[in-house]
Chain A
Amino acid sequence: MQFLGMLSGNLLNGIILGAVYGLMTMGLSLIFGVLKVVNVGHGAFIMVGAYVAYWMFTLFGLAPILSVPIGLILGMALGFLFFYLVMKRLLDAPELSTLLATFAIGIFLEEIAKVIWGPDFRGYSWNVGSLHLPIATIPMAKIYALMSSIAIAIGLYLWFKKTRAGTALRCLVEDKEGARVCGINVTGFYALSFALGLGFTVLSGVLLTLFIPVGISPYMGGIYTLKAFVIAVLGGLASPWGAFFGGFIFGLVENGSYSLLGLIPNVEPFSLTQFVAFMVLLVILLLKPEGLLGEK
């Protein structure tokens, strides 16, 4: 009974964390969907967002929720910078080039962060009370993160479906040459998608700090790259909406498996959940590579 209570509490946490996970992966899927580029340095941009939240909070006392727009703007600035400096020259190159380039960009950001903030773990705590439920006590900070994730995802969805720019972007995903013929500035929209994708990634890093009890470090991104890939593949890789729902599934799997692995004596359940993420990835790639939510 006690176990069931813990399990349901963990699953609830999983859903809340899953919303942020989903948001964290939307940028990856957006970039892959439009540019057909896999951003292997994804985790490094999450790390940048985490440090934005950390710095804004410790230097100016700004609540992490209010750092969200700063993360978005910084991420988009980095996105435009890296697009025009690097990615634009590689659009027609073999896949190998973009994979290596995004990997190198990620490593570069990590090393810059190490120079600025040092290699140690840092953390802050934003205490705004808790919500007491029968099965679990949830800090309000996480509730805010959940609500802003959903609001931001809906915002992106509406922008995609309702605005002229969003329509042009969807057109570009369907048919690059067709879009060009219709007078859509293909390179410009590539730049915009790359920037938006990274903007959302950095922004999600801001929210993610509310869930990391051990604190943040320059090399924290690696495991989030892995998780984002698992989620993206769950959702069909090229679909930001699939990714958002994939995030919920992954949050549930991760937190549920944490409870179950805790039953095994003499193991470290937290480390094993990271391994579970990798196994989930292999199993999906084996059984349903187009994604659980993808259509084929």
Chain B
Amino acid sequence: MILRKYSSFIITLAIFAVLLLIGLLRPTMWQPVALIMFYIAMGQAFNIFLGMTGYVNFGYVAFLAIGSYGMALGISRFYHTGIGLWLIPLGFTLAALMAGLLSVLVGGIALRLRGAYFAIATIGVNEGLKYLIEGAKFWGGSEGIIISKPMRVTFGRHLANSLSTFWADIFLFAIAVLAAYLTFRFMHSRVGYALTAVREDEDAAKVMGVNATKYKLIAFIVSSCVAGLIGATTWCLKSTYVFPEDVFEVSYTVEAIVIVMLGGSGTLLGPIIGGLIYGICKYWLAVLLPGLQLLILAPLIIVIIVAFPGGIVGVIREKTRGTAFDQVIV
């Protein structure tokens, strides 16, 4: 019984372990594996909110972006204080905090209202924030923040190099495990049950005394904080610079939607399967049809929504309903 409850979480960890092993044993595979993990983690963080609530955060990429700024500010503003390697946890803390604050601001206002209004409020987050940074010219304005020099000065050339080529991806694995654990915990907790009730019938849930806004806000904040951590490691620590034009790029929101809907929203394994397939396909598409990825992805989203709204995991569950397998992949 216990094993059955944890089965999907164990499968998740096994997939991550296999990916990590492939990357470690075959150095040429490290970058593709890191790319796939980025998509898996991004899908997982997105799924915590979309899957649980059925609400879409169209400004999702802004939360990764603000996380990358958190890390960049942590390193570029504090590297001369001599705290050495503590800069990294400081950067991650700032990333999560800043993404969390943004989510409290946006979610606190928009989640009191029903679905359509939330979508409307979030679609402006990305543009709004980008234009604020570029217009008011803080945090480097449109020139962004480059952290390669502070990193070299603090950590030395060798360590700075391995931080961005190796450790940044290891952090990504850790964040993906964290996201999987949070998703799993949510699904089997008060928050998850409350959100399921709200998603199925908001009015009925409210009558039963469920504070819909509170639980939606919890899921939104958690999803945003994890997104901030992903941005901090992949878009700052790994790339060693943050440019507003690069990080506030709406196509990442599209990719997150594709990953979650393809795999199956509201399930633990959905974004992982979606991320795996998407990561591999993207690698091929980038080689075969460079520049046309979005042209292919957009109709794909529509086909999934119209024909398989449950995604791959949904289809598999439909086919295996009543068998032991159905229980395993919840």
Contacts and interface: CB of A to CB of B under 8 A. Distances in A.
Interface of A: 32, 36, 38, 40, 86, 89-90, 93-97, 99-101, 103-105, 107-108, 110-112, 114-115, 222-223, 225-226, 229-230, 232-233, 237, 266-272, 274-275, 277-279, 281-282, 285-286, 289
Contacts of A38: 116, 119-120
B56 interface: yes
Given A112-B295, A270-B135, A272-B135, A281 B120 contact: yes
Given A93-B309, A111-B294, A226 B128 contact: yes
Contacts of A225: 123
A111 B120 contact: no
Contacts of B261: 100
26 contacts: A40-B119, A90-B305, A93-B305, A95-B116, A100-B301, A101-B301, A101-B306, A103-B56, A104-B301, A111-B295, A115-B295, A226-B124, A233-B117, A266-B137, A267-B135, A267-B136, A268-B136, A270-B135, A272-B136, A274-B127, A278-B125, A281-B120, A281-B121, A285-B110, A289-B113, A289-B117
Contact of A285 (B121, B128, B129, B295): B121
Interface residues of B, number: 44
B135 A90 contact: no
A118 to B, nearest CB: 11
Contacts of A266: 137
A232 B257 CA distance: 25
Given A278-B128, A282-B109, A108 B295 contact: yes
Given A282-B106, A289-B113, A111 B298 contact: yes
A279 B137 CA distance: 18
Nearest to A261: B135
A279 B120 CA distance: 13
Contacts of A114: 295
Nearest to A229: B120
B113 A100 contact: no
Residue with the highest number of chain A CB atoms closer than 10 Å, among B121, B123, B125, B250: B123
Interface in B46-66: 50, 54-56, 58
Given A229-B123, A278-B128, A281-B121, A100 B56 contact: yes
B119 A281 contact: no
Contacts of A237: 116-117
A278 B135 CA distance: 14
B299 interface: yes
Max chain A Cβ within 10 angstroms of own Cβ: one of B54, B261, B306: B306
Interface in B161-218: none
Contacts of A275: 128-129, 131-132, 135-136
Given A108-B302, A271-B132, A282-B121, 19 more contacts: A32-B116, A38-B119, A89-B306, A90-B306, A96-B56, A100-B257, A100-B261, A100-B305, A104-B254, A107-B297, A111-B292, A114-B295, A223-B127, A226-B124, A275-B129, A275-B131, A278-B131, A282-B106, A282-B109
A107 B254 contact: yes
A195 B297 CA distance: 24
Interface of B: 50, 54-56, 58, 105-106, 109-110, 112-113, 115-117, 119-121, 123-125, 127-129, 131-132, 134-137, 250, 254, 257, 261, 292, 294-295, 297-299, 301-302, 305-306, 309
B305 A101 contact: yes
Contacts of A97: 305, 309
Nearest to A225: B123
Contacts of A89: 306
A279 B128 contact: yes
Given A96-B56, A100-B261, A277-B128, A271 B117 contact: no
Contacts of A279: 128
Chain A CB within 10 Å, residue with most, of B129, B136, B298: B298
Nearest to B115: A95
Contacts of B117: 233, 237, 285, 289
Nearest to B299: A108
Given A267-B135, A275-B135, A229 B298 contact: no
Given A86-B306, A104-B301, A267-B135, A286 B109 contact: yes
A100 B127 CA distance: 19
A268 B135 contact: yes
B295 A99 contact: no
Contacts of B127: 222-223, 226, 274, 278
A89 B309 CA distance: 12
Nearest to B59: A278
Given A96-B56, A233-B120, A277-B128, A101 B113 contact: no
Contacts of A278: 124-125, 127-129, 131
